[in-house]
Amino acid sequence: MQLSAPKQITWWIAVIVAVVGLIAALVTIPVLSGIAFWLVVIGFVVLLLGTIVSGM
């Protein structure tokens, strides 16, 4: 398996989702606070997929 750097847009989407999850874990946001952990996990999964799948 050959790894590659994710595209810049993929990286930014992953960072934004993870940061929103982190903020939702620290500050009470009615809709997002319940799924804050999963938002961080989704951000890291997007980053992982961007590294594994070429062209993403």
Q: Give the model confidence (pLDDT) of 5-52 as tens digits.
A: 999 999 999 999 999 999 999 999 999 999 999 999 999 999 999 999
**How high is the pLDDT of residue 14?**
95
Asked, for residue 3, whether it belongs to a domain, the answer is: no
Determine the distance from the C-alpha atom of residue 51 to the mean position of all C-alpha atoms in its chain, rounded to a whole number.
13
Task: Report yes or no: 54 and 1 within 8 Å, Cβ to Cβ.
Answer: no
31 part of a folded domain: yes
Which residue segment(s) compose the domain that 44 sits in? 8-52
Nearest to 22 by CA among 43, 36, 7, 42: 36
Task: Please indicate, yes or no, if residue 24 is contained in any of the structural domains.
Answer: yes
Per-residue pLDDT for 1 more than 90? no
Say how many domains are in the chain: 1
Residue 21 lies in a domain: yes
Position 2 in a domain: no
pLDDT value, residue 56? 73
